[in-house]
Amino acid sequence: DQQVKQNSPSLSVQEGRISILNCDYTNSMFDYFLWYKKYPAEGPTFLISISSIKDKNEDGRFTVFLNKSAKHLSLHIVPSQPGDSAVYFCAASASGSQGNLIFGKGTKLSVKP
C-alpha cells in the first residue's frame, strides 16, 4: 500500500511558466516532508522541506505548500527553467522513524524552451 503517492508520472511546462507538482499521503503520523530532484544516473538532490507545523515554505523559485487536512502537498516552481527538467520525488517521514523516508514514485518534469 503506497503511503506517498505522486499521481502524475509526467508534466510538461513551457519555460517561464509555473510548474506545480503534487503529492498525496495517507499516513497521518507523517510530520516532515521533502522534495528531491533527480537526474538520470545521479542520486536525488534535496530541494526543499516543510514541517507539519507550517503550511508553506519558500526558497527562491521553489515553494512547498502543505494541506494537512487534505493530506496533500505541492511544489511550485516559478519561473520554470529548462534546467529544472528532471524527476521530482516527494518524501515523507514521521518523528522517530530513524532514517526511513517514504518516497513517492516520482513525476518527470519537462520544461520546454
Partner 1 sequence: KAGVTQTPRYLIKTRGQQVTLSCSPISGHRSVSWYQQTPGQGLQFLFEYFSETQRNKGNFPGRFSGRQFSNSRSEMNVSTLELGDSALYLCASSPVKRAGVDTQYFGPGTRLTVL
Chain residues binding partner 1 by CB under 8 A are 31-32, 34, 36, 41-46, 49, 51, 89, 91, 93-106
Q: Is 25 in contact with 89 (CB distance < 8 Å)?
A: no
Name which of 56 and 112 has its Cβ closer to partner 1. Answer: 56
Q: How far is the CB of 1 from partner 1 (least distance, A)?
A: 12
Min separation Cβ 17 and partner 1, Å: 28
- SS3 category, 77: strand
CA 63 to CA 47: how far, in whole Å?
10
**Pick 44 or 80: Cβ nearer partner 1:** 44
First to last CA, the chain: 38
